[in-house]
Amino acid sequence: MSLTGIVVLLKPQGETSRATLNRLQRAVKSHQRRRLEGLSAAEQTGKPPRVGHAGTLDPLAEGVLVACIGEAAKLIEVVQQLPKRYVGTFQLGVTSDTEDAEGTIVALPDPPKPTRAALLEAIPRFVGRIRQRPPVYSALKIAGKRAYQLARQGQNVELASREVDVYGMELIDYDYPLLRLNIECGSGTYVRSLGRDLAEAVGSGAVMTALVRERIGPFSLVNALPPSILDDPESENWLEHLLPPELAVAHLPRVELDAKTTARILKGQKVRQDEIPAPQKTSSGFPAAETTLCAAFSPENHLVSLLEMADNESVKIKKNFSFSPDDLC
């Protein structure tokens, strides 16, 4: 079976997420070539496994970039929905068209100097399920085009506010004009916009000057692999850091299938809810978004499928995962 698993990369500041991922992609291709060496031409079949990442970080930002390889790439959408933890640094008294330091920075005339008490009083307004206006320079689409593309063309871009989940916000440090926030939030939340809105709540403006993503679900900086380890084409030390795909679904309710039902699901055959065990809730230790997905496992404890309990009777197969025949015995 081709290479499958998850690698937690440490994206450096000043590098795009795509560039960091490309390093891993080259390492995977080198591994694939070595694996096929010595095999006959007939045996050398198949493309290198797919490599993708679950959540872009802007060049300004650094931190956790979760990369999924092979069959694990089917879990990218699941990882994207996991809660994230950031440390953001903001400069008060200024604004920017991009809401971060990479845009055009404009100083406010005679801005106030908010007290620490004022900031602490305002922070709870931005915790919970809140409405947030996304930044104009974002990847959200308007009539099929990215908002940032329209903004760069000088067009007037208006994005509607939307609901996002902010699980926690803590003031770590404040020495005017700089403040640092510890933020735990759900998918789709813009940290630079949280800084903008907090500053406006105390009568000022803010620009994000630094951002570190410390965690996505169970994947944290503790596990993060410096991408420089991927740059030696002769080394495969990075394989020691390959994590099992099952970690990406540890927060989902778990269904343990028998061998017969496992085979049916992998063939795409329909099953009813009364034909499978009731999903067992798990305790992931971090906030989880509402979901109807369940992770189904074979008797050998392999991740077989992502199932959705569509209604009171039917089960919808969202994703199936390929394993060797021995895994399905």
Q: Please give the positions annotated as active site.
A: 58
The CA distances from residue 156 to 105, 137, 205, in Å, are: 19, 11, 21
Longest CA–CA separation in the chain, Å: 74
Q: What does the alpha-carbon distance between residue 87 and residue 186 come to, in Å, rounded to a whole number? A: 14
Q: Are 88 and 171 in contact (CB under 8 A)?
A: no
The encoded tokens of residue 274 equal 């009364």
3-state secondary structure of 90: strand
Nearest alpha-carbon partner for 248 in 85, 81, 86, 84: 81
Q: Token pair of 275, please? A: 């034909």
Residue 106 tokens, joined: 């404009």
CA distances from 288 to 139, 166, 170 (A): 24, 12, 19
Whether cis (ω within 30° of 0) applies to the bond prior to 325 is no
Query: Of 182, 231, 195, 234, which Cα lies nearest the Cα of 63?
Result: 182
Cβ-contact 182, 168 below 8 angstroms: yes
**Torsions phi, psi for 89 (to 5 deg):** -110, 135
The Cβ of residue 111 has, within 10 Å, a number of other Cβ atoms equal to 17
> 178 forms bridges with which residues in the sheet?
91, 175
